Amino acid sequence: MQVPTVGLLERLRQDRPLVAIELRPPRSDLSAAESMDTWIDMNHAIRRLGHLDTVLFLTDRAVGKAEEENLHHLTANLAGEFSPSRVVPFLTCKHTLDYCLMFATRAASHGLEALTVLGGDRSVGPPRCVEHAYQLRQHIRQRVSSLQLGGWAAPHRDPQEQVAFILQPEFEAEFYLTQVVSHHGVLSVERFLDEASHRNVPYPPVFGVFFYRSANPKTLEFLARYFPVPATQLAREFDSGVSAEEICARTIRGLRAIGADKVYVSNLGIRGAAERYRKIIAAVEG
């Protein structure tokens, strides 16, 4: 497959599906040896994924956990291996404002075109430097006007409320990602899409899809703190012998059926991420 050279926004607006990937850098509390091993694994994964038609999102303080800086690894170890137009770091408000503005400046200086700017979990870790993510996007826009900025939406909530947030002048974004959704909750996504279409939202969305590896009750209970988890339905699917890749593919196919054809997949891990990605794509298209 030929790797596209178009920028992020152009790719999001193309009339063809996209399955992007969300990867998580190493936790900052790992030992030096553990951290190095994880970065080596991520380096290999990104190099393999770089040959595919995808976009890479790198998290920042996923589920409230402190992570090593995603931007440092990208710029230090992967120059020329993955097109900057297809790398989109996350930046949460869980840093000082000075750090966030310097992060954005560094990202632009290294050729990255976009950042996804999120609030970050209020319940753990350091406080936010601003109350809401849109305020940080406003600061970044004033400092680095060239960057394309991504926002956030939660399709499981009231669609009129969510769309109203997106349409506010101060939203300050060119695209937005969404909370994780599932084929078991596709009706809420459809209502959200209908409202966004009715009110002419101009920004392209990228819907979150979670790669569930099992229906372990403790894991699903933990995940349910952050997004709605269809635990009963997932347990039924896994018990019937459906593979993790097929379950993920069912969500992607379900979203495409209602017009949500741009998604990002979370929880692929690092080791074997490219192979799991290929299996998911084969299940989607098979």
Q: What is the pLDDT of residues 163-206, one digit of tens each?
A: 999 999 999 999 999 999 999 999 999 999 999 999 999 999 99
Using alpha carbons only, how large is the chain's radius of gyration in Å? 18
What CATH number does the domain containing 161 carry? 3.20.20.220
| pLDDT confidence of residue 72 | 74
Residue 9 near residue 148 (C-beta atoms within 8 A)? yes
pLDDT tens, residue by residue, 254-278:
999 999 999 999 999 888 888 999 9
- 253 inside domain: yes
- For CA atoms 170, 174, 178, 182, the dihedral sign is positive
Does an H or E element contain 49, and which? helix 32-49
| Sign of the Cα pseudo-torsion (274, 277, 278, 279, in order) | positive
* Domain membership flag for residue 186: yes
Does a structural domain hold residue 79?
yes
Q: What pLDDT digit, counting tens, does each position of 85-142 carry?
A: 888 999 999 999 999 999 999 999 988 999 999 998 887 778 999 999 999 999 999 9
State the residue range of the domain holding 148: 8-285
- Is residue 2 in a domain? no
Q: 109 in a domain, yes or no?
A: yes
* 144 occurs within a structural domain: yes
Give a yes or no: residue 3 inside a domain: no
Q: Is the pLDDT of residue 79 over 60?
A: no
What pLDDT score does 85 carry? Answer: 81
pTM: 0.91
Label residue 68 by pLDDT band (50, 70, 90).
low
In a domain, 164, yes or no: yes
pLDDT of residue 1: 42
Residue 282 vs residues 77, 248, 285: alpha-carbon distances, Å: 30, 11, 5
Q: What are 34-57's pLDDT values in tens digits?
A: 667 777 777 777 777 777 888 989
Average pLDDT estimate for 7-12: 92
In total, how many domains does the chain have? 1
